[in-house]
Amino acid sequence: LFNIHEGNWDQELLQLLRIPPAILPEVVPSSQVYGETAARFFAARVPISGSAGDQQAALFGQLCDRPGMVKNTYGTGCFMLMQTGERPVLSERNLLTTVACRLGERTEYALEGSVFAAGAAVQWLRDGLGIIRSSEEVETLAATVPDNGGVYLVPAFAGLGAPHWDPYARGTLLGITRGSTAGHIARATLESIAFQTADLLEAMEADAATPLTELRVDGGATANNLLMQFQADLLGVPVVRPRVRETTALGAAYLAGLAIGYWQDRKELSRLWQAEQTFAPVLERERMAELRYNWNRAVERSKGWAQP
């Protein structure tokens, strides 16, 4: 019902659906004192002063405040947002155009894309196949082989998300030979997360006509160094992991703190963000192009498997 261009409820939609505007809440900025907690809950009334969706909060927490800056959250799925500034970019490649944040009268926009199965694919190795006992073991198992051995996993367990949007795609494991091991399957699983991220990023770069210079990452799976290094190699740009990986909570705190004057502005916030580790690409681009070509072949084979 929200018109992201006008920054208010869409009157045409409200009329079409016969929704009285009076029953909807007031649209307010992302950083503002909205009220206080009730006196009975805490020793003092605590101001409630920050509001954002989880991925928008993570984008703010990663301090992606300039057009072209991108963050990717690695959890059960992957969620990538590219800051596009005050210009809403309408995607031609099946991505979502969304509001990133609104500070005062300034509205910033973002492109967003979602991957359905990232950490969920590792959970499948643990719970479905039983080849690892905990998710943390996948890196050790994947490191037992030097590469994927020609094995590719497309974890379309619930279809494919952006930019493909195929609900009829299904999980596909290709390239298995008698020489394939559990290590190859583990490595193919980690690589599938990076491949899906690369698909999202390629669509974003084309929509925004802005090449990536670095990818800021957060979420539980970023603790996996093998995955982060492969992601950097695949994208050909540095992958930067911050000291604080719970950037969704951090972004909400930043928005709230700005509203009450705990921090003065984004310039002050920028001095707080620190990188823990930067993964620079080291593998040849020709090798990465070959891997990406084979991944695309695997994705095409997974599509449309479950007939409507």
CA distance 48 to 31: 10
Return d(Cα 169, Cα 94) in angstroms, integer.
Answer: 16
Q: What percent of the chain has pLDDT over 90?
A: 99
Tokens of 257: 């703190």
Beta bridge partners, 85, equal: 109
Element (H, E) at 154: strand 152-154
Q: Residue 111: phi, psi to the nearest 5?
A: -95, 140
On the question of pLDDT at 288 being above 90, the answer is: yes
Work out the pLDDT band at 307, boundaries 50, 70, 90: confident
Q: Is the predicted pLDDT of residue 66 greater than 80, yes or no?
A: yes
Pairing of strands 70-74, 2-3: unpaired
Phi, psi of 216, rounded to the nearest 5 degrees: -90, 135
Return the amino acid letter for 83.
Q
Q: How far apart are CA 293 and CA 270, in angstroms?
A: 38
Task: Write down all domains in the chain, each with its CATH number in brackets.
Answer: 62-246+265-308 (3.30.420.40)
Q: Is the pLDDT at 308 greater than 90, yes or no?
A: no
Helix (H) or strand (E) holding 114: strand 106-115
Residue indicated by tokens 């952006």: 162
Give 220-275 pLDDT, tens digit per residue. 999 999 999 999 999 999 999 999 989 999 999 999 999 999 999 999 999 999 99
Average pLDDT, the chain: 96
Alpha-helical (H) ranges within the chain are 11-16, 54-61, 119-124, 137-142, 182-208, 225-235, 247-260, 266-270, 285-302
Please report, for residues 9, 12, 26, the alpha-carbon distance to residue 19 in angstroms, rounded to integers and kept in the order given: 11, 10, 15
How many Å apart are CA 12 and CA 3, to the nearest integer? Answer: 10
Q: How far is CA 252 from CA 60, 81, 105, 166, 271, in A?
A: 8, 16, 19, 33, 17
Band of the pLDDT at 216, cuts 50, 70, 90?
very high
